[in-house]
């Protein structure tokens, strides 16, 4: 499964109890490497991704997870902290892989610029996949 697919699945899994009509995480994981089902929105941003979320409060879920985390994680501003909060590998190599998935065109040696771009892109992609993401996190 792609790194973005893992991010999407982790958030969807947290929303499953509140969103019974959402795709279960196991099914979303199974779809991670295949195209969306017929009739689903299919473009470069969503191809091969788990099924879209249905009006999931992304900020609410992540705030709840951050409140339970043993360390303070600034998921609203840091892609590293967001990935840590979701229990994903946040290493530079993992972030470079995510950048490739999301078609980053900048210099991957400039990790600060890449990280800022990644965070914004992940928030935008979550919103494009049906997540409710505050506007200030998508800019």
Instruction: List the domain boundaries for the chain.
Output: 3-32+49-130
For residue 71, pLDDT over 50 is answered with: yes
Give long-range contacts, CB 8 A cutoff, 24+ apart: 38-46: 44/103, 45/125, 45/128, 46/128, 46/129
**Average pLDDT of the residues in 76-105:** 98
Would you place residue 15 in the very low, low, confident or very high pLDDT band (cuts 50, 70, 90)? Answer: low
């Amino acid at each position: 499964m792609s790194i973005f697919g893992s991010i999407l699945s982790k958030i969807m899994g947290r929303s499953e109890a509140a969103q019974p009509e959402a795709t279960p995480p196991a099914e979303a994981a199974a779809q991670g490497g295949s195209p969306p089902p017929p009739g689903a929105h299919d473009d470069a941003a969503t191809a091969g991704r788990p099924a879209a979320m249905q009006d999931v409060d992304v900020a609410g879920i992540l705030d709840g997870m951050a409140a339970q985390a043993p360390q303070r994680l600034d998921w609203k501003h840091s892609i590293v902290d967001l990935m840590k909060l979701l229990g994903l590998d946040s290493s530079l190599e993992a972030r470079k892989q995510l950048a490739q998935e999301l078609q980053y065109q900048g210099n991957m040696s400039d990790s600060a610029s890449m990280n800022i771009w990644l965070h914004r892109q992940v928030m935008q992609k979550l919103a494009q996949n049906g997540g409710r993401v505050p506007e200030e996190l998508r800019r």
